[in-house]
Amino acid sequence: MHHICPTLQTWVSEFIPPVFALEKRDIILWNGIPLKNLKTSHIWDATRYKLPEVHWHDYIWHKLYIARYAHLAWLVCLNRLPTSDRLVSFGLNVSPHCLLCVGGTETRDHLFASCPFSSYIICALADTLHITGANSWLDLLSSWGTHHCAVHTKSCFANCSGFCVSHLEGKERKASQQGLLRAFEDYCWHFDGCKI
């Protein structure tokens, strides 16, 4: 048998409380409030930085939309596309002019509202749904929000127009870099023959 030094025994008894049976069960507290069913969403909501809700989120995020295109539309709404004006501001040596019309500086608002190429596509879709256009992308989203039609119709239009414009602009930009730029009139003829 080992004998424990009395001072060590005293020290252990002072710092290590005796084991006893608990009368009550432990309770989970979050911010001092007992929670019966703690979920990670409570912790996430309490710890994350929350921005105010934007009016266009219903037009962009929907379970039936293709995530790749919804993400692209989200980048358009946040003005985070790698347009020429942004690339120039990052110090890259690129032409700031729009490759589609060569008439203006390539910005988000130019590409999706004032460029003749994209304006034609958006106007064709807007006429079908009786929605008016605007001078900028956010004005366009606001006008869709005030229009009295179903949210699904508005979100479908927003996604459809955004995706059409971004897809065709992407193809056209790639073609123009390869020297294969189609005439704007060819696109007008192509869309006039389509049922939207």
pLDDT digits (tens, 9 = 90+) for 17-55: 666 556 677 777 777 777 777 777 877 888 888 888 887
pTM of the model: 0.55
What digits encode the pLDDT tens for the residues 129-171?
Answer: 566 656 666 666 666 655 545 555 555 555 565 555 666 666 6
pLDDT at 152: 53
Our measurement of the distance from residue 112's CA atom to the centroid of its chain's CA atoms, rounded to an integer in Å, reads 16
Could you tell me which residues come within 8 angstroms of residue 106 by beta carbon, excluding any fewer than 6 positions away? 83, 84, 85, 96, 97, 98, 99
Of 78 and 130, more confident: 78
Q: What whole-number distance in Å separates Cα of residue 79 and Cα of residue 163?
A: 15
CA distances from 3 to 15, 16, 18, 179 (A): 20, 19, 20, 93
End-to-end CA distance of the chain: give it in Å, rounded.
93
